[in-house]
Amino acid sequence: MHRGKGMKFVGDSRVLAPSERKPNIPKDYSEYPGKTEAFWPNFLLKEWMVGAVFLVGFLSLTVANPAPLERIADPTDTGYIPLPDWYFLFLYQLLKYSYASGPYTVVGAMVIPGIAFGGLLLAPFIDRGPERRPIKRPVATGSMLLALVAMVFLTWQAVATHDWKKAEEQGKIVAKVNINKADEGYQVFKNQGCINCHGENLQGGAGAPTLINTGLKAEEIAKIAKNGKGKMPAGIFKGNDEQLKKLTTFIEGLNKK
C-alpha cells in the first residue's frame, strides 16, 4: 500500500475512513502448509511434551547421580582443599600456575579472565564487519577457538591433577558421636598425647584419621597404640596396662553398635 494513498481526511486527523478500514481478522496462513500451526492446542502441546521429556530425563539423572554431600563446612580446617563446580574448574586451574598465583594472583584472578570476558563483551562493538562466515573472520574465530581450547585443556588439567581420594576422605560425613570426656579412657587418650593428632573429639585431622567407628577391637587398638601403624609412629603410648585397657575399650566403645 502506498502511504497516503486511499486516505481520506476526517476533520483534522489522518484516521482511515470506515470504508477503507480492514476487518480485524487474523492473517490466513493456509498458503504456508506445514510452516505454521495453531498456538492452542497444537504448539502448546508440543512444547509441553518436550518439557516433560526433558524434566523426566533430568529427574532420572539426579536420582541416578545424587549431588555429593559432604560434612558441614568447617572454616577453621585449613587442610581442606575446596573444589569449584565443573564449569569453573578452568579458572580454578589457572590459579595454580606460578605466573597467575602467589604474588601474581591478580593476573590469574582479574587480568586474564578480565581480558577474555571483556573481549567477549566488547566483541559486537570492536568487530563490526558485515561478514558472517567464520572462515572470513579469522581474528574472531581464532580467539574463540583459542579460548575454547584453553578452557577444555585447563578443565582437563584440573580434573587430572586433583587428589580425588583425599577429597573424598576430607569430605566424609562422620557420624556424630557424643564423646564422654569424663570417661577415664578419654583422660588416657588426652594424657598420652593421642589427642594431638586424633583431635579433641577423636574426629581426626592433620593427616590422622578419626577414631570414631574404626571397627577395631580393643586388642587391635592396643597394638596400634604401642607399635604405630603406617604414618603413625610407634611408641606413643607410654602408660601401664590398666591405662591401655581403659583407652582401648573407650575407643572400641565408639564403634557403631
How near is the Cβ of 160 to ligand HEC at its closest, in Å? 25
Work out which of 107, 140, 174, 216 binds ligand HEC, going by CB under 6 A: 216
Task: Report the residue from 46, 193, 234, 242 that binds ligand HEC according to the rule CB under 6 A.
Answer: 193
Nearer to ligand HEC, 108 or 209 (CB): 209
Q: Which residue has the cell 481526511?
A: 9
Q: Which stretch binds ligand HEC (CB under 6 A): 5-13, 76-84, 156-164, 196-204?
A: 196-204
153 backbone dihedrals φ, ψ, rounded to 5°: -60, -50
Tell me the C-alpha distance between 146 and 118, whole Å. 15
Cβ contact 247:186 at 8 Å? no
Q: Using CB under 6 A, pick the residue from 224, 246, 250, 252 that binds ligand HEC.
A: 224
211 binds ligand HEC, rule: CB under 6 A: yes
Residue 221 and residue 249: Cα distance in Å, rounded?
9
Asked if residues 237 and 244 have their Cβ atoms less than 8 Å apart, the reply is: yes
Cβ 202 vs Cβ 251: under 8 Å: yes
Largest separation between any pair of C-alpha atoms in the chain: 116
Q: How many CB atoms lie within 10 A of CB 116?
A: 16
Taking CB under 6 A as the rule, which mask of x and - marks residues 76-115 in contact with ligand HEC? Answer: ----------------------------------------
Cβ count within 10 A of residue 141: 13
Q: Assess 201 for contact with ligand HEC (CB under 6 A).
A: no
According to CB under 6 A, which one of 154, 194, 202, 254 is a site residue for ligand HEC?
A: 194
Interface residue with ligand HEC among 90, 92, 186, 237 (CB under 6 A) is: 237
Distance, first Cα to last Cα, the chain: 89
Taking the complex as a whole, the smallest distance from the CB of residue 222 to ligand HEC amounts, in Å, to 8
192 binds ligand HEC per the rule CB under 6 A: yes
* Residue 230 binds to ligand HEC (criterion: CB under 6 A): yes
Give the integer Cα–Cα distance in Å for 257 and 38.
Answer: 66
Closer CB to ligand HEC, residue 154 or residue 247? 247
- Site size with ligand HEC, rule: CB under 6 A: 23
Where does this chain bind ligand HEC (CB under 6 A)?
192-194, 196-198, 207-209, 211, 214, 216, 221, 224-225, 229-233, 236-237, 247
